[in-house]
Chain A
């Protein structure tokens, strides 16, 4: 059964164009593949993203705002990314390609161990398909513990939920090759995820009432400022 697009976006029937757009943006941010990197639930998030895109497309089509409507879900997705200042439109695909070509370059210029290279490629594809056991076996066979090795080992740990070791390994990869885009990106992402949760949580706590002391202090400040400018806020002092 097809889901109600309004329900998917969590808005009321007859919501305005802006409301739909806002809800869509928030959800697209929530289920963005960046957030579900190295997460065993990435496929579920992807599915959710597809649902949201479909719902958004359907509502846009029906809203009559035809000139703003984009017919492909990928486009609307990209659009939301661009507005967030992110460059990762068709994220996973690009990312994959980039990282593959990068590691190929590395192998030619720096490392002579072709056996290690094969294992590295294999480990990569096992990690992508979620087969951590086989990926680990490949890594264990590699002789050269280079930056790529630490990076992949880090990814395996992250997938398993061993974040402490995952972080240490990825940091090591980054320290060994600070110019590598992939390692830097992964390290930044880890820090961002933790900080992001905190921020999101603190945001909810900022609505706490100021205490009496605070209110008095503010009033006194306001009064002083007014007096400086020649007026008066509180007559008695």
Chain B
């Protein structure tokens, strides 16, 4: 489910790319500091995006310094100085990942899920204590999602709602003060979450069909057991509309935010990265050789 929010690297300026990487490293280090080294493996790009976005609303320049780390011990890299948003995003990352692993264990009995929850248990407890209301809301939505999936819900909209609301909750950061910003962030999160959920569903159609897992698209468009490629092709236009419209709403919410810095990176993701990802999933192109780590 995670990792769909990406930059369009060839279009970024080198200094913007360095800065984005600096945010990623900063978040990774913040995770390590707050929750122990092992939690650093749970970091996703989606949350890095949130960190860059939240920090973009703050007019103080993003300072940083060259540092080395475990993953890159020799060459020092630019790391953005940690702030309240880095901490917030890493807390949310832990809550999200913990529930994600728990879901994997409960639904698919994946051993990785169980081990993961055991390892992250302490970290999760800490994050939950910091944001009890958010953790509760997220957990409630995940329960709804799991119920909907078990019932075999045949509406993509309805199935996507829970995940969309989770992202909305996470994007609506407590440390942002303006009401306008909070409202826009919340709608941005909703639509981004919806986009992620539906994109993931389309991406997994073959896999879910083979393993007879739940997939909202198989249910909504009544897959009849014929060629799965043809089925995917036949629903492409509808899914494309749903995805692009969600992104257009993400963009509208973004337009209402007062972006003080990081505009190049944000524009790159919002106007290029997301649509490129949409197209690559819709056309079934999986970038197998792509490096996962920045």
Q: Which A residues fall within an 8 A CB radius of B?
A: 30-31, 35-36, 39-41, 44-45, 47-48, 157, 161-165, 167, 190-191, 193-198, 200-202, 204-205, 207-208
Measured CB to CB, the closest approach of chain B to A32, in angstroms, equals: 11
Do the beta carbons of A31 and B255 come within 8 Å of each other? yes
CB distance B164 to A161 under 8 Å?
yes
Most A CB contacts (10 A, CB to CB) among B8, B161, B245, B274 go to: B245
Q: Which residues of A contact B190 (CB under 8 A)?
A: 161
How many A-B pairs have beta carbons closer than 8 Å: the answer is 89
Complex CA gap A196/B245 in Å reads: 9
B271→A200 contact, CB < 8 A: yes
Q: Is the CB of A165 within 8 A of B155?
A: yes
- New contact pairs (15) apart from A30-B255, A164-B157, CB-CB < 8 Å: A40-B187, A44-B180, A44-B184, A44-B256, A163-B157, A163-B245, A163-B246, A195-B244, A197-B247, A204-B267, A204-B272, A205-B11, A205-B276, A207-B11, A208-B10
How far is it, in angstroms, between the C-alpha of A105 and the C-alpha of B183 when the chains are bound?
A: 38
Chain B residues positioned under 8 Å from A196 (CB to CB): 248
B275 located at the interface, meaning its Cβ lies under 8 Å from any Cβ of chain A in the complex? yes
Could you say which residues of chain A place their CB within 8 Å of the CB of B245? Answer: 163, 167, 190, 193-194, 197
Interface contact B184-A41, CB-CB below 8 Å: yes
Please indicate which of the listed interface residues A39, A163, A196 has the most CB atoms of chain B within 10 Å of its own CB. A163
Q: Could you tell me the distance between the alpha carbons of A109 and B194 in the complex, rounded to whole angstroms? A: 41
A-B contact pairs, 20 of them (CB 8 A): A30-B255, A36-B252, A39-B187, A39-B249, A41-B187, A41-B256, A45-B252, A161-B191, A164-B156, A164-B241, A165-B157, A167-B242, A194-B245, A196-B248, A197-B245, A197-B247, A197-B275, A204-B272, A205-B11, A207-B11
For A47, the chain B residues whose CB sits under 8 A away are: 180
Docked complex Cα distance between A190 and B246 (Å): 11
Which B residues between 115 and 164 are near A, CB-CB below 8 angstroms?
Answer: 155-158, 161, 164
- Contact of B244 (CB < 8 Å), options: A48, A165, A198, A204: A198
**A55 CB to closest chain B CB, in angstroms?**
14
Interchain CB contact under 8 A, B252 and A164: no
B253 pairs with A41, CB closer than 8 A: yes
Q: Quote the shortest CB–CB distance from B33 to chain A (angstroms).
A: 36
**Min CB–CB distance B231 → chain A (angstroms):** 17
Q: Which residues of B contact A162 (CB under 8 A)?
A: 155, 157-158, 161
* B238 CB within 8 Å of chain A: yes
Q: How far is the CB of A1 from chain B (nearest CB, A)?
A: 14
With both chains docked as a complex, state the minimum distance between the C-beta of A138 and any C-beta of chain B, in angstroms.
21
Contact assessment for B241 and A201 in the assembled complex, using a CB-CB cutoff below 8 Å: no
B206 at the interface (CB under 8 A from A): no
Among B273-294, those with CB < 8 Å from A are: 274-276
List the A side residues contacting B6 at CB < 8 Å: none
CB–CB A194/B241 < 8 A: yes
Closest Cβ of chain B to A85, distance in Å, is 21
- A201: chain B residues within 8 A (beta carbon): 271-272, 274-275
The answer to whether B248 and A197 have CB atoms under 8 Å apart is yes
Q: Which residues of the other chain, B, contact A197 by a CB distance below 8 angstroms?
A: 244-245, 247-248, 251, 275
Instruction: Write the chain A residue with the least CB distance to B194.
Output: A161
The 6 residue pairs across chains A and B that have the minimum distance between CB atoms: A162-B157, A197-B248, A194-B244, A201-B275, A163-B245, A194-B245
What is the CA–CA distance of A6 and B273 in the complex, to the nearest angstrom? Answer: 30
Q: Are B184 and A164 in contact (CB under 8 A)?
A: no
Note all chain A residues with C-beta closer than 8 A to B194: 161
- Chain B residue, CB-CB nearest to A161: B190
Question: Considering the chains assembled together, what is the distance between the CA atoms of A165 and B158 in angstroms?
Answer: 9
Q: Using Cβ atoms and an 8 Å threshold, which residues of chain B touch A191?
A: 241
Q: What's the minimum C-beta distance from A131 to chain B, rounded to whole angstroms?
A: 16
